Amino acid sequence: MTIIVLTRCPAGLRGFLTRWLMEISPGVFIGGPSARIREALWMEVQRYADTGRALLAYSTDNEQGFTFETYDHKWHPIDHEGLILIRRPKPKPALSPAPAPSGWSKASQRRRYGQR
């Protein structure tokens, strides 16, 4: 079983994949091609994805029963003692929030001075 998920990729690439796989949802392709065809499809996806992202998942004979590859994703697969896990980037620390303005808010000033 092979699954390819495309995000922000050209329509021509989606059309190319429909020759070998079934598009079950926009950008989600599933099928059962041979390993040689799967590798050829993945090479074409990487070649024509432009600014888009792609994910390939396929069944294999390992502990998890599947493996996956990514193209231009922020999350990357890593091997951890035989298991494939996802490494997510650490969130960047937020800048210190701007100090609250001193004084009264406009709403409280209106209430204070009886204006509506």
pLDDT digits (tens, 9 = 90+) for 20-57: 999 999 999 999 999 999 999 999 999 999 889 999 99
CB atoms within 10 A of CB 69: 17
Q: CA nearest 77: which of 55, 51, 49?
A: 55
Q: Could you say which DSSP state residue 104 is in?
A: -
Residue 21 is predicted with a pLDDT of 97
Give the pTM.
Answer: 0.74
H-state helical runs in 49-105: none
Residue 100: helix, strand or coil by DSSP? coil
What pLDDT sits at residue 97? 65
Q: Which residues contact 13 (CB under 8 A, 6 or more apart)?
A: 6, 44, 45, 48, 49, 52
Residues 73-107 pLDDT 10s: 888 888 888 888 888 888 877 776 666 666 667 77
Contacts of 38 (CB under 8 A, 6+ apart): 2, 56, 58
Domains annotated on the chain, with CATH: 2-87 (3.30.70.240)
